[in-house]
Structures are given as structure tokens and as C-alpha cells.
Structure 1
Amino acid sequence: MRCPHCDEMNDKVLESRQNASGTSIRRRRECNSCGYRFTSYEQIEDKPLMVIKRDGRRERFDLNKIGRGIRTCTDKLDIPESSVETLLHNIEDAIMLKVGSKREITSSDIGDETLKQLKEVNLVAYVRFAAVYKAFDDLTQFIAEIQQLGRELQ
């Protein structure tokens, strides 16, 4: 694999891990020429996971879309990027386990899983994401969501 730092093709694998669903392998590598460490991912080329939108349209699953939503709702909160990346991998793993061999999932299932995972990381980010995902249009919906969170935490 070509080193992103020095462009040499000489590296060694330091560590390999597969995700929970067994659909990808993360490899930690080190360039033998310059010592730079980097990560590569290996995935099975498979038929794409399709998302069924609320209006019935289908589109390819894109983890980057979830990532943009999470980064928006965690903006200006003290959440490191490494936690966001871990959160995204956990969401992807949970979605892949839920989908199985069907290769289709509803956008609401993705949103629900994202909320579930966000709740474990930061409650403010959870409420921010819920406000957009659940399309809050007045203050009473915010209050109801926060009260529900309070009941769950007790």
C-alpha cells in the first residue's frame, strides 16, 4: 500500500481488526521507509445497502451523511473527533447487523439507531439531533423530549 506521507510502496501491518458484523477489516500500517503510521480499510465488494426514504425513494447508504449530521449536532461541544469516529463505526456496525442479508433499511431505523448511540455519548447532542430528525416545530416538543430523557435517567 502506498504511504500517504512519502509515497513509497513499502509498509508493514501492525494490527488488524474486523468490525462487529465482519464486513470490513481495519488495518493499522507503518511505512518501512519513513515510519509514518496510517490506517487502511478492507471491505467486501458487495451489493450496496439501500436506504428506503420516508417518501418511498431508495438511495445508497452513505455513512458520510450520518457523519455530517453528528458533526453538526456535536459542534462546539467537548467531544473529540475520535469519539465521533467511534460513534459512526458503532452506528454502522449496528445497522449492518440489523440489515443482515436484506440489504435494505428504512431511514427511520437509521435515525433511531443514531439517536440511541448519541444518547450514550452526549445528551445535548442527542437533543440537537432529535430536534432535526423528529422535525420539532415548537418548544413543547423540545420540553417533552427532555422530560422523557429525565425519566429514563432516573
Structure 2
Amino acid sequence: MQCPDCGDTRTRVIDTETSTDGSSVRRRRECQRCSFRFTTYERPEWDSLQVKKRDGSIEPFERGKLRVGIKRAVEKREVTDDAVTAIVDAVENSLQDRQTRIINSSLIGELVSEQLRDVDKVAYIRFVSVYKAFSEPEEFLRELDAVLDAEVDDFEPPS
């Protein structure tokens, strides 16, 4: 294990503790060169989510990467950080509930889209335009029309 402070590979385990649900191990480590202490977490690889990208490559699911994508879509919109966290939590929980550990990136995009559509329509259009890789203005128009049509259907006149 490499020290995050000095980069030396000579570290030793000071303390080991199993999580309450038994799914991971927390280890306190100390660098033998600079005495920097840090914590690592170990989880069985088969238990972690993997994302299958459009090009067929597979990489570990990264909550931070999901958050960055959502933050980019809600940039300069009145969407709170708590709302972004709630979206990330909802998507991650939905993925964890599935029977498979390898998830298509398109499924993640659909789950985020569903959540964003309810939170902020503009952020939804921004996200979908990247997720679906819009290349023509007509694609924006079709998606915008779908959002506006849904808004009209949901509209209830004041009584």
C-alpha cells in the first residue's frame, strides 16, 4: 500500500476492524518512512458495482464521477447540494438493488434522467443531451417538446 503523503510503499497495518454488516474491512495504516497515518477500506471485488461503457470496457462504479456529471447538469440552476446528493443516493441504491453487479452506463443515464426530470427541467435537458449524445438541433427539440408536453399534461388549472 502506497503512502498518500510521501508515496513510499512500506506501510504497516496498525488496526483492523470489520464493518458492522461485515461487507468491508477498515484498516489503519502507518508509513514506515514518514510516520503518516491513513485509513484504507477493503471490499470484495465481486460485491462492488462495475459499469459497462458504450465502447464495451468495464470500470468500477464511482459515486464521485456520477456526482460530477449531475453537478455539471445543474450548474447555475437553483438545485441544492442536498438535492444532488439525494439523486446520487437514489441512483446508487437502485443500482445496488439489482441482481447483477455489471451495469450498463445507459441504465445509469436513464436513472439519473428520471431523477433530474422531477428536480429541474433545464438540468434534465442538459444531462440528456450529453447522455444521449445529441448531435442535431432536432434532437434537442424533440426532447424539449416531450418535456413541455408532459408539463401541459400535469398542469391543473386553479380552482
Fold shared by both chains (TM-score > 0.5): yes
Specify the alignment match of 1:130 in structure 2. Answer: 128
Specify the alignment match of 1:89 in structure 2. Answer: 89
Specify the alignment match of 1:33 in structure 2. Answer: none
| CA distance in structure 2 between the partners assigned to 1:88 and 1:58 by the alignment | 20
Give the gaps of 5 or more residues in structure 1: 1-22, 24-42
| CA distance in structure 1 between the partners assigned to 2:42 and 2:112 by the alignment | 24
Question: Which contiguous aligned blocks of 4+ residues in structure 1 show a shift greater than 4 angstroms?
Answer: none
Specify the alignment match of 1:38 in structure 2. Answer: none
Specify the alignment match of 2:70 in structure 1. Answer: 70
Q: How many pairs are equivalent?
A: 112
Give the gaps of 5 or more residues in structure 2: 1-22, 24-40, 154-159
CA-to-aligned-CA distance 1:40-95 (integer Å, 9 cap, x gap): xxx99342211111111111111111111110110110111111111110111111
Are the equivalent residues in 2 in contact too, given 1:95–1:113 (CA < 8 A)?
Answer: no
Specify the alignment match of 2:149 in structure 1. Answer: 151
After TM superposition, the score normalised by the length of structure 1 is 0.67
Specify the alignment match of 1:54 in structure 2. Answer: 54
Counterpart amino acid of residue 69 in structure 2: G
After TM superposition, the score normalised by the length of structure 2 is 0.65
Q: Which of residues 106, 112, 115 is equivalent to 1:114?
A: 112
CA-to-aligned-CA distance 1:71-121 (integer Å, 9 cap, x gap): 011011011111111111011111112x22x21110101111110111111
- Percent identity between matched residues is 32
> CA-atom RMSD, angstroms?
2.0
| CA distance in structure 2 between the partners assigned to 1:143 and 1:79 by the alignment | 24
Q: Which of residues 96, 102, 110 is equivalent to 1:104?
A: 102
Structure with larger Rg: 2
| CA distance in structure 2 between the partners assigned to 1:119 and 1:93 by the alignment | 18
